[in-house]
Structure 1
Amino acid sequence: YVGIQEAPGVMYSKLVSIPDTLMWRYFELLSFRSMEEIEQLRADVEAGANPRDVKIKLAEEIVARFHGEEAAANAHRAAGNRMKDGELPEDLPEVVLEVGEDMPVAAVLNKAGLVKNSAAARDLLAAGTVKVDGEVVDRSFVFAQGSTHVCQAGKKAFARIVLK
Structure 2
Amino acid sequence: MLTIDEILSRGVSEVIVEANVRRKLNAGKPLRLKLGIDPTRSDIHIGHAVALRKMRQFQELGHTVVLIVGDWTAQIGDPTGRDESRPRLTVEETKSNAKYYMDQVFKVIDPAKTEVRWQSEWFGQFDLEKAFGLIGRFTVNQMLAHETFRKRYEAGQQLTVLELMYPMLQAYDSIAIKPDIEFGGTDQKFNILAGRQLMEQMGMEPQDVILVPLIIGTDGRKMSKSFNNSVDILMSPNDKYGKIMSMGDDVLPVYYEVWSDAPLAEVKAMPEAIKTGSVNPRDLKMQLARDIIRQLDGEAAAAEAEAEFIRVFQQRDLPTDMPEVALSEATNIVDLLVSTKLAASKGEARRLIDGGGVRLAGEKIGSYDSLIQPIGEQILQVGRRKFVKLLGN
**TM-score category (smaller protein):** 0.5 to 0.7
**In structure 2, C-alpha distance between the alignment counterparts of 1:111 and 1:21, rounded to whole Å:** 36
Q: How far off its partner does 1:98 sit?
A: 3.2
- The correspondence of residues 1-164 of structure 1 with structure 2, limited to 5 A, is 1=53, 9=237, 20-21=253-254, 23=256, 26-28=261-263, 42=270, 43-45=272-274, 47=276, 53-60=283-290, 66-67=299-300, 71=304, 73-74=306-307, 76=309, 84=313, 86-99=316-329, 102-139=330-367, 141-164=370-393
**What SS class does the counterpart of residue 71 from structure 1 fall into?**
helix
Report the Cα offset of residue 122 of structure 1.
Answer: 2.0
User: Secondary structure at 1:73's aligned position in 2?
Assistant: helix
**Alignment length, in residue pairs?**
143
Task: Render the CA deviation track for 1:52-72: whole Å, top value 9, x for unaligned.
Answer: 641423544896xx4499536
CA distance in 1, matches of 2:370, 2:263: 52
In structure 2, distance between residues paired with 1:58 and 1:161: 34
CA distance in 1, matches of 2:306, 2:376: 33
- Residues 65-107 of structure 1 show CA distances to partners (whole Å, capped at 9, x for unaligned) of x449953632658xxxxx62634333200011333xx333223
Q: TM-score, normalised by structure 1?
A: 0.57
Tell me if structure 2 keeps the 8 A contact 1:105–1:142.
yes
What letter is aligned with 2:359?
K
1:163 CA drift (Å): 3.5
CA–CA distance in structure 2, aligned partners of residues 23 and 72 of structure 1: 19
1:109–1:163: structure 2 CA closer, same or farther, 3 Å change rule? farther
Higher relative contact order (CA 8 A, sep 6+): 1
SS of equivalent residue, structure 2 residue 319: coil
- Once superposed, which parts of structure 1, at least 4 consecutive aligned residues long, lie more than 4 Å away? 16-19, 48-53, 58-63
User: Counterparts of 2:301 and 2:237 in 1: how far apart (Å)?
Assistant: 13
CA distance in 2, matches of 1:75, 1:44: 28
Matched residue type, 1:23: Y
Distance 1:160 1:68, change over 3 A: closer
Stretch of structure 1 that moved more, 153-162 or 123-132 = 153-162
Instruction: Check conservation: 2:313, 2:384, Cα contact below 8 A.
Output: no
Determine which structure has more spread, i.e. the larger CA radius of gyration: 2
Q: Distance in 2 between matches of 1:27 and 1:47?
A: 20
Q: Which amino acid aligns with 2:376?
A: S
CA distance in 1, matches of 2:303, 2:340: 32
CA distance in 2, matches of 1:96, 1:113: 14
Offset at residue 51 of structure 1 (A):
5.0
Q: Compare 148-157 and 125-134 and name the one that shifted more.
A: 148-157
Two-structure CA RMSD over aligned residues (Å): 4.4
Deviations 1:16-74 (A, max 9, x none): 59961563772239xxxxx9xx69x74523537675641423544896xx449953632
Q: What do residues 104-134 of structure 1 show as CA deviations (whole Å, max 9, x unaligned)?
A: 3223223333222333222211111001122
Q: The residue matched to 1:84 in structure 2 has which SS? A: helix
For 1:117 and 1:148, the matched residues in 2 are separated by 25
Structure 1 unaligned regions, length at least 5: 30-34, 78-82
Assess, with a 3 A threshold, how the Cα gap between structure 1 residues 96 and 27 changes in structure 2: closer, same or farther. same
1:55–1:70 CA distance, 2 compared to 1 (3 A): closer
